[in-house]
Amino acid sequence: DIQMTQSPSSLSASVGDRVTITCQASQDISNDLNWYQQKAGKAPKLLIFDASKLEIGVPSRFSGSGSGTKFTFTISNLQPEDIATYYCQQFNNVPPVTFGGGTKVEIK
């Protein structure tokens, strides 16, 4: 199974800051990588698919990049409503689909 290592596990930043989360795959997954946002008590929501494509309706301050084994998720201008846990997820050569451990984003 492909393991996804996400870092950091949590972070605290100020409104307006640029926030970066990384995800590393245990083997090459091309660009078969998605990012989800999960707010407390809610279902996950798809933000980025195929490593860098923004889901319809998602604000442009969210972005993703990378391919192969290293991926990055960025919030360019952190807003209070962005408080959530973010997960990467790979879907290369499935099953199984696997998720990263999550990054909890808080506001300073």
Partner 1 sequence: EVQLVESGGGLVQPGGSLRLSCASSGINFSRFWMSWVRQAPGKGLEWVVNINEDGSEKNYADSVKGRFTISRDNANDSLYLQMNSLRAEDTAVYYCARVLGYGSRIGLFDHWGQGTLVTVSS
Does 46 bind partner 1 (CB under 8 A)? Our answer is yes
**Pick from 62, 73, 98, 105: which binds partner 1 (CB under 8 A)?**
98
- The whole-angstrom separation of Cα 102 and Cα 13 is 16
Residue 84 contacts by C-beta under 8 Å, 6 or more apart in sequence? 37, 38, 39, 40, 104, 105
- The amino acid at residue 28 is D
| Closer of 38 and 63 to partner 1 (Cβ) | 38
In the complex with partner 1, the residue whose CB is nearer, 40 or 81, is 40
Sign of CA dihedral 48, 51, 54, 56: negative
What is the closest distance, in whole angstroms, from the C-beta atom of residue 42 to partner 1 in the complex? Answer: 8
Binding site for partner 1 (CB under 8 A): 32, 34, 36, 38, 42-46, 49, 55, 87, 89-102
